[in-house]
Amino acid sequence: MGSYKKNKRPGFLKRTTVRYFKHPINVAALIAILIIGLCGVFADFLASEKPLACMLDGKLYILPCVIDTPALVDYDNQAIELAIAKRGGWAVLPPIPFGPNQTKVNGSVDWLQAPHGDHLLGTDDSGRDVLARIIHGARSSYLVGVGSIIICIILGVLLGALAAYFGGILDRGTMILIETLTAFPTFFLILAVQGLLGASSLLQLVLIIGATRWTDVARVTRAEVLRVVNEDYVNAARALGLRHFRILMRHVLPATMGPVLVAATFGIASAVLIEATLSFLGYGAPPPTSSWGQLLLDAFNNEGTYWLAISPGLVLFTNVLSINLVGEGLREAIDPAR
């Protein structure tokens, strides 16, 4: 028994993890994604026009940056600092003491200001802090990317697996649907639908991208299920009288999730890029929602504002490149023979 445990091969997850982390570039890409993703999750704590906590007029306010506080509705960080200087108290400000939609600072609007001490990455044509909008733009980017790919996985895995497992008219119908959707360039199809509906919310954008890009996941799932469905252990499960649903969930789908995960990773990068492109064209995140594409549009509309193009452009490039590198690393880790 001891010899068996010692020579037992590591499981699929452990082998994949070891292969993935063998390459420094995979680690660097994953770290970049985590940093950008965490900035999006904790955007309100990193860049906000309200403090993290403050004591004003003898009252303690905790997290007014995320909790609507009626007593501070007319205050921003700068006004609170002035009030504290006059009436006493204290405040803990976020690292970037400006909100993504804050246009006035100390009663004035500093529009199209180049990077300087107060605004490290400058301001846009409405006087809003660019760094604050980049940080909050990460939230919009990942909400669209992750949200749409969840829909893609649900639709793609469901239809692809059922089509391959049962075959017949279900398989033919699914393939006709996939071929019909893929006959149109995906981006222009999304642009047309978004243009007809109008840019109303990020949720609408998530649903549109998810409903049009599930075909890639469905193709991969179908191919993998066709490869697995006639394996001996699947035939043995059928011979034992197991229900189709149990065979799919317990024996077929687990063997297909590796390639599906890789396809989903590349899908996130594509969705992030589509969201930025739609926002640049005016059909993405509705104002005043922060978006990297909107910042690039501001740079396009205001000649000479290099800071509006370089910073969001670099962040978008780094994000998409990192996600693609993670997807490539996963593909090599799952199938080292490629």
- According to DSSP, residue 47 is labeled B
* Nearest-angstrom CA–CA distance, 191 and 174: 24
Residue 308 neighbours by CB under 8 Å, 6+ apart? 122, 124, 130, 295, 296, 298, 299, 302
**Does the predicted TM-score (pTM) go above 0.75?**
yes
For residue 8, the model assigns a pLDDT of 46
Predicted confidence (pLDDT) per residue in 164-188, tens digit: 988 889 999 999 999 998 888 888 8
* Nearest-angstrom CA–CA distance, 190 and 212: 7
What pLDDT band is residue 240 in, cutting at 50, 70 and 90?
A: confident
- Indicate if the pLDDT at residue 267 is higher than 80: yes
CA 185 to chain centre: 22
What pLDDT band is residue 2 in, cutting at 50, 70 and 90?
A: very low
Instruction: Name the least confident of 11-20, 29-38, 81-90, 131-140.
Output: 11-20
| Spatial strand order in the sheet of 53-56 | 59-62, 53-56, 89-92
Strands (E), the chain: 53-56, 59-62, 89-92
Q: Among the ranges 106-110, 133-137, 200-204, which has the highest mean pLDDT value?
A: 133-137
Closest CA to 262 of 334, 315, 191, 194: 334
Q: Do residues 226 and 166 make contact, with C-beta atoms less than 8 angstroms apart?
A: no
For residue 244, the model assigns a pLDDT of 82
Q: Among the ranges 105-114, 151-160, 187-196, 278-287, which has the highest mean pLDDT value?
A: 151-160
Predicted confidence (pLDDT) per residue in 35-81, tens digit: 999 999 999 999 999 999 999 988 999 999 999 889 999 899 999 99
Please state, for a pLDDT cut of 70, what percent of the chain lies above it.
95
Closest CA to 222 of 159, 278, 316, 310: 159
Beta partners for 96? 47
Predicted confidence (pLDDT) per residue in 119-129, tens digit: 999 999 899 99
| Residue 280, phi-psi category: left (phi > 0), alpha (psi -120 to 50), beta (remainder) | alpha
Q: Does a cis peptide bond (omega within 30 degrees of 0) precede residue 288?
A: yes
Q: Which two tokens stand for residue 115?
A: 């990077």
Average pLDDT, the chain: 89
CATH class of 131-334: mainly alpha
Residue 260 neighbours by CB under 8 Å, 6+ apart? 153, 156, 157, 217, 220, 221, 224
CA distances from 296 to 115, 116, 198, 318 (A): 16, 20, 20, 15
Q: Do residues 263 and 216 make contact, with C-beta atoms less than 8 angstroms apart?
A: yes
For residue 337, the model assigns a pLDDT of 56
Mean pLDDT of 148-177: 92
Q: Do residues 157 and 222 make contact, with C-beta atoms less than 8 angstroms apart?
A: no
Instruction: Name the least confident of 102-111, 220-229, 291-300, 316-325.
Output: 102-111
CA 282 to chain centre: 19
